[in-house]
Amino acid sequence: MMSERDGKVTREDVETKLRQLSGEVGSQVSEAKPALVTTGVGIAIVLLAIAYLLGRRGGRKRSAVVEIRRV
């Protein structure tokens, strides 16, 4: 990668290496994206179910029981 002339790193060397690295990272991200989206949706559904069940339970605890008697 370094220039053969004097052993110094040139701007072109740095740009070439950064393009190689960004290409590798981009391909890894695009491969992992479907699994991450699926996992995120699954976690969101589980959290919504837990919130629903806890809210339902809390509503039952606080609700008053009214008994009507005829005299």
Tokens of 46: 């589980």
pLDDT, one tens digit for every residue, the chain (71 residues): 454 566 788 889 899 888 888 877 777 888 888 899 999 999 999 999 999 998 887 666 666 777 888 87
Encoded amino acid at 13, one letter: D
Query: Cα separations (Å) of 10 from 3, 5, 15, 20, 47?
Result: 7, 11, 9, 16, 52
CA angle 54, 57, 58 (to 5 degrees): 85
Q: Are 13 and 2 in contact (CB under 8 A)?
A: yes
The number of residues in the chain equals 71
